[in-house]
Structure 1
Amino acid sequence: MKRDDPSKAPRIVVIGGGTGLSVMLRGLKEKPVDITAIVTVADDGGSSGILRNEMQMPPPGDIRNVLTALADVEPLLSKILEYRFQSGTGLAGHSLGNLILAAISDITGDFVTGVKEMNRVFAVRGRVLPASNQAIHLKAEMLDGSIVEGESNIPKAQGVIKRVYIEPPDVSPLEEALQAIREADGIVCGPGSLYTSLLPNLLVPHVVDEIAASQAVKMYICNVMTQPGETDEYSVSDHLKAIHDHVGHPLFDYVIVNNGEIPPEVQARYAEQGAKAVHLDLDEVARQGYRIIADRLVLFKTYLRHDAEKLSDHIYQLVESWMMRKR
């Protein structure tokens, strides 16, 4: 199958945000697939939060991360897009890629058009789309009844999350994103922050309805480590239960998890930050009706990351097998 014939390539929609999604996409873009990434617009911290407030635009950070991951450009240009100013009044803390996306959005007069132009200019393999053309405000109701406002503030609250919700609740979904879900052969959710990267996309009206109605194979990629202030002490089934509780029904056919050993010294380093390996309660996951793909899927350099190549192999093989069964 040739990469230059995307009409015959499996169509894969990935949904999420954050670093984990970008890492996975660096591997998936090397497969002969047609990728559409639907990315959260709930970020309100750092450079994204400043641009969101000052320019009244959706936050660019997660979009920029995914654009960079899928861009077919020289490594130096990728580093330029990721470059973050360390000094300068008004510049310190800003990512150059965020500023470029803000500028293109301002020039074209529309955030979605700006993202599309970035897709074209940086030769993105596939498409990157925001879940909505509007910035979303994320809020969390904690177990003690308190409300935490803002995506960046939710983990800092260090409480137990009961549920998250978006405002406005009737935010308009991007029609192109819904159409991509309808046409998909495979739909992948994650990896990424459960409450602040994945669920904000699923809470956009009609997104879950389209996923549920789709005949595509649907996969959830579970995080390797818990996230302090979000998923403390969570097992794999706890992640799935949280999604089920928010959307009202099961969404996935397969759950992809890491079962590789994490070295004790790496676990100790993460424990200092309050994180630990997600407990693999695979019997409970299977009891809930999910099929499980378990493999050694982690690499460790400075941080634990999914092995993008192996993870992409599993995704591609699942989609290919699913398509063969449908023929």
Structure 2
Amino acid sequence: MIEVSKKDKKVTVIGGGTGLSTLLRGLKRYTEDITAIVTVGDDGGGSGILRKDLGILPPGDIRNCILALADTEPLMEKLLQFRFNEGNLKGQNFGNLFLAAMTGISNNNFMEAIKRMSDVLAVKGMVLPVTLDNMTLSAELENGEIIKGESKIPKKVIEHKSRIKRMNIEPRGARAPIEAIEAIENSDIIVIGPGSLYTSIIPNLLVQDIKEALLRANGRKVYISNIMTQQGETDNYKVSDHVRAIIKHSSPKIIDEIIANIGEINNFYIEKYEMENSEKVELDIENLSGYNVIKENIVSFSKKYARHDSDKLAEIIFNAV
């Protein structure tokens, strides 16, 4: 049984991509006081098209987090995750269109649209964009090349055979919603990750308001390391390399402890990931002195991928309170 005191805990999670929504599904079993702060740098796929055509922030990661926290029927979730396969809407996700339409009837107020969609789906908690500014990502590679646009970065890293040296956002002075700042400052637990290091996690930390709120916050700050490396972003990275990149773009004081996977990946998945030039992220604990490192088997398996086990992660996070 979950203790009542744990249910009272306020949790803020910062990130994006499938990693963030996966974690939220586990956390909502423990508390309804959850805030998800979501990156809005995506410029590819259906989200990128809507961003360009309608001038709205990319809805994809926001949609996934809303659905992860929703108390809704399986059919409704299936509907909102439906992707059109033909015609002018080919590649578009119905949930993205729903959020875009909600923005339209909310006088183009994206925050209001998120709140209304959350109300319709009986969301437990709150989902917030990291900024309402039209944020664009750029990467400076070690060879000096500058790559603009989230969707182009991994491809160009591979093409140039040069690692990412530093990430930047435009506008540099992007501001975070006051609700996001207050959530961080008032949380008992603040979780960073899991997700794509340079395109889902670090961009949030480049919003100055978010970094400053993290430095002021008294809550426990937990980083969840990725299970596998990502081609074009974290090739050959160990856990310490992920942590070092986060610190480089923010501050050593925004992480108190690290949750890292020590579960085995069987040969079927290892071989599959090798075809994508990806490998298991090695835990090099000798390079993580000064941090409380929680070593656990936090991996689960789908038909295609090794993912974080959302229930196990949530259990670890709350049992360490």
TM-score (normalised: structure 2): 0.95
State the shift of 1:2 in Å: 9.4
1:79 aligned partner: 78
Aligned mate of 1:306, from 290, 296, 308: 308
Cα distance in 1 between the residues matched to 2:90 and 2:183: 37
After superposition, the Cα gap between the structure-2 partners of 1:8 and 1:21, relative to the gap in structure 1 and judged at 3 Å, is closer
Q: What residue number does 1:237 align with?
A: 240
SS in structure 2 at match of 1:53: helix
Secondary structure of the 1:172 match is: coil
Is the aligned partner of 1:295 residue 2:293?
no
Paired with 1:269 and 1:297, the residues of 2 have a C-alpha distance of 19
TM-score of the two chains, using structure 1 as the length reference: 0.93
The aligned residue for residue 104 of structure 1 is 102
Q: Distance in 2 between matches of 1:292 and 1:113?
A: 39
CA distance in 2, matches of 1:2, 1:116: 28
- Could you tell me how far 1:265 is from its partner in structure 2? 2.1
In 1: Cα distance, 2:35 partner to 2:318 partner? 14
SS of residue matched to 2:252: coil
Q: Take 1:6 and 1:310, find their aligned partners in 2: how far apart are those partners? A: 19
Cα deviations by residue, 1:166-193 (Å, 9 ceiling, x for unpaired) = 0000112111100111110100000000
CA contact (8 A) 1:59 1:135 kept: no
Partner amino acid for 1:220? Answer: Y
Question: Which of 190, 196, 199 is matched with 1:187 structurally?
Answer: 190
Percent identity at matched positions? Answer: 47
Question: Once superposed, which parts of structure 1, at least 4 consecutive aligned residues long, lie more than 2 Å away?
Answer: 5-8
Task: Tell me the secondary structure at the aligned position of residue 164 of structure 1.
Answer: strand
Output the amino acid matched with 1:277: K
What are the within-5 Å matches in structure 2 for residues 9-88 of structure 1?
9-88=8-87
The change in CA–CA distance for 1:281 and 1:104 in structure 2 (over 3 A counts) is same
For 1:69 and 1:180, locate their aligned partners in 2 and report how far apart those are by CA, in whole Å.
Answer: 19
Aligned partners of 2:13 and 2:192 also within 8 Å: yes
Q: Deviations over 1:92-135 (max 9, x none)?
A: 00000000000101110201110111111111110001111122
* Count, aligned residues: 315
Measured after TM superposition, the shift of residue 88 of structure 1 is: 1.1
CA distance in 2, matches of 1:304, 1:275: 12
Matches within 5 A, 1:226-265: 226-265=229-268
1:20 Cα offset (Å): 1.1
- Give yes or no for contact 1:57–1:134 (8 Å, CA) kept in 2: no
2:134 matches 1:135? yes
SS of the aligned residue for 1:278 comes to: coil
Greater Cα offset, 151-160 or 178-187: 151-160
Partner AA of 1:252 in structure 2? I
